[in-house]
Amino acid sequence: MATKTAQYTTDDIEYLRHGDRPMMLRLYRPAGAGPFPGVIDLHGGAWNNGSLKQCHDRAEVFAEAGLAVAALDFRHAADGYPTSLVDINYSVRWLKAHAKDLRIDPERIALSGQSSGGHLAMLAAMRPNDARYASIPVGDGKLDARVVCVGMSWPVINPLSRYRNALSARAQANPPDWVGDIPEHHDTYWKTEANMAEGNPVLMLERGEKVEMPPALWVNGRPDPVHDYLDPESGGDLREPERFAKLYRAAGGKIDMVYIEQKTRSTRTSFDPLAAFFRKHLL
């Protein structure tokens, strides 16, 4: 399917296939000849739900800002960790390999994601050469999955603490509505707490793991008990966004934090700071 507006065009492309399961991306490209900087955008859904269609409003703003956007479908849910990272890592290398035909600059690729997609974006950016994530070859194998920068919208940056936070909240006499089926979604995708700790950007930094640290932006609404909370097991008084930011900076990375009103987070109030961030680092 292809569409065209005055500001951008879209094309649906199969970038990978697992047996009889096609993995699709929707490519938004600004009007003009390019080559354009590219942003791979990842939907949320607690690693269980969602599709590339959820990226549309954000991708539209990015495309109007002069960025090509690949809204991505990837394996999730019962496929389990780390299948999502395998597909995302492949998509970065695939986009670079096909950059000329797609009118994209392979030297200017970034990652973006919302909620669980924000976690996946950061994890993929930090571990571009992880042998598990890069297990499917592309072309001659010389391309890597490094990206220039990563933008996150309220990421589930610490899957383990979010899981335990939800379980603790559910155990209250009157559990808050936000808990929903969060624990079950974690169980379906992550399988074990050990996996939640292993694929965990916060704990990776606390363990001193050697990782890539491209410039990053974190946009978060407030109040947001699902993504902005204190982990009582951390031993500190920083909520998870600031905890991660402090660790990232201490390890040599650069990250900016933008807080907005929760009720406006699915509007340009959150999209515009991301577009400006990507323009700063990619244009």
Q: Which sequence spans correspond to the domains of the chain?
A: 2-282
| pLDDT reading at 6 higher than 80 | no
Q: Give mean pLDDT, residues 109-116.
A: 98
Q: What is the mean pLDDT of the chain?
A: 97
142 Cβ contact partners less than 8 Å away, ≥ 6 residues apart:
none
Query: What does the pLDDT read at residue 1?
Result: 60
Instruction: Give the domain 2-282 fold.
Output: Rossmann fold (3.40.50)
Query: Amino acid letter at 271?
Result: F
Locate tokens 């670079």: which residue? 96
| pLDDT reading at 4 higher than 80 | no
Q: What pTM did the predictor assign?
A: 0.97
Each residue's pLDDT tens digit, 7-57:
899 999 999 999 999 999 999 999 999 999 999 999 999 999 999 999 999
Each residue's pLDDT tens digit, 131-155:
999 999 998 889 999 999 999 999 9
39 Cβ contact partners less than 8 Å away, ≥ 6 residues apart:
62, 67, 68, 69, 70, 109, 110, 111, 112, 151, 278, 282
| pLDDT reading at 192 higher than 70 | yes
